[in-house]
């Protein structure tokens, strides 16, 4: 269990760092609103994060035809949450966009872990 959490932090941390860089670049250089930069950045992180979580974190032997659609659904929920949180924080506060993106990644990745543990890769245990 501890090993899984460490891998989740390492894989998720790498994906989170990629998300932060992409979201910031999209916001700073393409002048996209925070919510859109957040949603696009999260989308671009799906495939590399899936492979890392499947193989390293959960050591899942599940078929991609089962696991990937579940992962995709969990990430669509994550994208929606990230866009909503980014929108709310950017419109209701004067918080700097980097702080918004960090807040979003911390809250949404916690939710994502629960989805992955209890649903996406849980069918390996049944």
Q: Write down the domain spans for the chain.
A: 2-125
DSSP letters spanning 42-74: HHHTHHHHHHHIIIIIS-----HHHHHHHHHHH
Per-residue pLDDT for 126 more than 60? Answer: no
Rounded average pLDDT over 38-63: 92
pTM, rounded to two decimals = 0.78
In this predicted model, what pLDDT tens digit does every residue of 1-32 receive, in sequence order? Answer: 778 889 988 998 899 899 899 999 999 999 99
pLDDT digits over 65-99, tens only?
999 999 999 989 988 998 899 999 999 999 898 99
What is the per-residue pLDDT for 1? 74
Residue 125: the pLDDT is 54
Residues above pLDDT 70, as percent of the chain: 97
């Amino acid at each position: 269990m501890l090993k899984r959490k460490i891998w989740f932090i390492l894989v998720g941390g790498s994906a989170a760092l990629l998300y932060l860089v992409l979201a910031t670049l999209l916001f700073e250089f393409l002048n996209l609103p925070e919510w859109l930069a957040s949603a696009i950045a999260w989308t671009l992180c799906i495939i590399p994060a899936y492979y890392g979580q499947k193989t390293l974190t959960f050591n899942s032997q599940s078929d991609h035809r089962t696991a990937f659609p579940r992962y995709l659904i969990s990430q669509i929920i994550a994208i929606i949450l990230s866009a909503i949180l980014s929108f709310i924080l950017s419109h209701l506060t004067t918080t700097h966009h980097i702080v918004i993106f960090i807040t979003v990644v911390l809250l949404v990745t916690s939710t994502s872990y629960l989805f992955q543990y209890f649903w996406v890769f849980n069918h390996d245990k049944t």
